[in-house]
Amino acid sequence: MAEAVYPVPAEWAANALVDEARYHELYRRSVDEPDAFWGEMAQRISWMRPFTQVKQTSFHAADFRIRWFADGTLNLSANCLDRHLAERGDSVAILWEPDSPADPERRITYRELHEQVCRFANLLKARGVKRGDRVTLYLPMVPEAAVAMLACARIGAIHSIVFAGFSPEALAGRIEDCGSRIVVTSDEGLRGGKKVPLKANVDEALGHCAGVDTVIVLKRTGAAVAMQPGRDVDWHEGVAAQSADYPPEEMDAEDPLFILYTSGSTGKPKGVLHTTGGYAVWASLTHELVFDYRPGQIYWCAADIGWVTGHSYVVYGPLMNGGTTVMFEGVPNFPDPSRFWQVVDKFQVEIFYGAPTALRALMREGDEWVKKTSRQSLRLLGSVGEPINPEAWEWYHKVIGESRCPIVDTWWQTETGGVMITPLPGATALKPGSATRPMLGVKPALVDNDGTPIEGAGEGCLVITDSWPGQMRTVWGDHERFFQTYFTTFAGQYFTGDGCRRDADGYYWITGRIDDVINVSGHRMGTAEIESALVAHAKVAEAAVVGMPHEIKGQGIYAYVTTNAGIEPDEALRKELVQWVRHEIGPIATPDVIQFAPGLPKTRSGKIMRRILRKIAENDVSNLGDTSTLADPSVVDNLLANRPRLP
């Protein structure tokens, strides 16, 4: 079948910030003269002390370092707030839509946001938070989440946001790993009409970890929650007495801004650390160019602030650019599957950025839910977090955008801080399913398993050969792990963990993770993390988790479980294990399938042959490949004979 190509619409080519010719010109400069190019691009930021050094980076062991604009100083909250006050203090910074359409929206201007951030910064200070301290945020999608982030940035504290869907156990692990003294949460969260007991979860988490002396509690639902005297502070009472002024701290460009935990191929999530200057340049530039953003436009990124997309494209990117960012507390299908598009109509959203998994779920509900709404305000659509299948892409384009709106399919990672491979709407002809071409300054390459570069069209492992300003700087508390994880698989290059194909036009097609990470509904999960949760159960001897194709989620979770001797696996145990994993990690890690197996396929040296487990989970069993190296080949027959019915 001929590949569909969607040329750049003429009015986009004529009016966008970057057209095709300009993209090539800028891209060439960005990689040929990175110092000059980035020195210029960084002028978009208000620096307190201008930098004289630009790029000081090496991916090689001998002189490994990643530093950008290192001798400059700045404050990110000042870049998001103070610098806009004179010109657009009264324009709306955050447009908040609550979970229920029956409740009122909130419109917060730059001036109001500035005031709230200063008050909260003063409250943090009053509770003894200093520069460099870690502050854990465990909050629903409410404007105060952005206030807390910006207040941390203002005083130079490092925020670590934990997605409010994570369990108390997962929260405790993250609080402990970064040594937070303070947690900011709310009484409850509200999503899809359901209440989430956030404060109770924090209390439970703090039973498992030491060191937290302050919990600030925002009222969201007004539910009665236990408050521990001395430790727990009511947000509103706490800020009431504080001054509405707090001069921003002068931070070094390489001072840490935030930690965000993400899953890798080991059992323990790693704390991805981003610093201030390079991230500021990267998040603001990518937000402006990828979305062709001009202040005044209503822009909506439907991600949760618990993920990196929420950091860079709900809060920091749009606010640095003086934009109006929509923040949505709810879910796409509550109260009904029109919800997203009703919000688009209500706020006259021009740019909408969402995840393929939500689109696939909505697509299944039928077009009527969409067609009830106008969506005439939409000009541009974006996709993020997982590969978008061409069918969902076409639906997004045709039904949601009525063939009028370009789609930017943006590939990037928690580690990259911002978008890395993407179309620019005025510059790039689109191919459904392809993230297309590199962002300015990004040098992607494909290598085979031995690290040999693949030139021209081909498929291999996706690496990035040189640094970009938004790159993560370290794994919190474990710099060696940072180097080992990303720079040793292919020496001297950043390994993304993704497989990728490049076509004859030089377009990139991400094929998905090639390590032990799976992508469930756009949420990144380490298979090892789910395995550790399963084996922590008293009745489980061994577990292996792989991804399986899933129509809505992209990938589902398929767990093979061997029970301890004397334990008879049954339906009750299956249910118990599902609950167990939800309790250990959170609902996003709910296994879709649990297959009990008396043994797992292992090599004679004891290594689990995941290739075989993946094939069984993918229902691709006609060719399992070479099983002769297995210690006990009959294990595979047993697995095949006892496959559960797939959901």
Q: Does 202 count as an annotated binding residue?
A: no
Q: Which residue is nearest to ligand PRX (CB)?
A: 414
* Cα angle 304, 308, 314; round to 5: 55
Q: Dihedral sign for Cα 634, 639, 584, 415, please.
A: positive
- Verify binding: residue 262, ligand PRX, rule CB under 6 A: yes
Sites for ligand PRX among residues 283-322 (CB under 6 A) = 308-309
The token pair at 360 is 């696939």
Instruction: Single out the segment in contact with ligand PRX by CB under 6 A; choices: 176-184, 238-246, 506-514, 593-601.
Output: 506-514
Instruction: Single out the segment in contact with ligand PRX by CB under 6 A; choices: 37-45, 380-388, 474-482, 605-613.
Output: 380-388
The full 3-state SS of 559-596, as one line of letters, equals EEEEECCCCCCCHHHHHHHHHHHHHHCCHHHCCCEEEE
Of 590, 572, 594, 570, the closest CA to residue 580 belongs to: 590
Q: Does 601 count as an annotated binding residue?
A: no
Q: Give the integer Cα–Cα distance in Å for 452 and 550.
A: 33
Q: Does 498 count as an annotated binding residue?
A: yes
- Verify binding: residue 414, ligand PRX, rule CB under 6 A: yes
Q: Does 513 count as an annotated binding residue?
A: yes
Q: Which of 58, 242, 413, 465 binds ligand PRX (CB under 6 A)?
A: 413
CB contact at 8 A, 563 and 539: yes
- Closest approach, Cβ 310 to ligand PRX, in A, equals 9
- Verify binding: residue 161, ligand PRX, rule CB under 6 A: no
- Verify binding: residue 498, ligand PRX, rule CB under 6 A: yes
CB contact at 8 A, 325 and 318: yes
Q: Does 555 count as an annotated binding residue?
A: no
> Could you tell me the CA-to-CA distances from 260 to 161, 178, 273, 381, 647 in Å, in that order?
6, 10, 7, 26, 33
- Closest approach, Cβ 161 to ligand PRX, in A, equals 13
- Verify binding: residue 428, ligand PRX, rule CB under 6 A: no
Q: Give the integer Cα–Cα distance in Å for 340 and 324.
A: 17
- Closest approach, Cβ 272 to ligand PRX, in A, equals 8
Q: Which long-range contacts (CB under 8 A, 24 or more apart) does 39-43 make?
A: 41/281, 41/285, 41/440, 42/69, 42/72, 42/277, 42/281, 42/469
- Verify binding: residue 434, ligand PRX, rule CB under 6 A: no
Of 43, 90, 109, 77, the closest CA to residue 247 belongs to: 77
- Verify binding: residue 510, ligand PRX, rule CB under 6 A: yes
Q: Does 215 count as an annotated binding residue?
A: no
Of 337, 460, 344, 318, the closest CA to residue 97 belongs to: 344
- Verify binding: residue 410, ligand PRX, rule CB under 6 A: yes
Instruction: Single out the segment in contact with ligand PRX by CB under 6 A; choices: 496-504, 559-567, 594-602, 609-617.
Output: 496-504
The SS3 of residue 16 is: coil
Looking at beta carbons only, is 262 or 428 nearer to ligand PRX? Answer: 262
- Closest approach, Cβ 309 to ligand PRX, in A, equals 5
- Verify binding: residue 420, ligand PRX, rule CB under 6 A: no
- Verify binding: residue 141, ligand PRX, rule CB under 6 A: no
Measured in whole angstroms, how far is the alpha carbon of residue 294 from the centre of its chain?
24
Q: Give the integer Cα–Cα distance in Å for 70 and 58.
A: 14
What residues make contact with ligand PRX under the rule CB under 6 A? Answer: 262, 308-309, 383-387, 409-414, 435, 496-498, 510, 512-513, 519, 524
Binding residues for CoA: 191-194, 309, 333, 521, 582
Residues at the binding site are 191-194, 309, 333, 385-387, 409-414, 498, 513, 521, 524, 535, 537, 540, 582
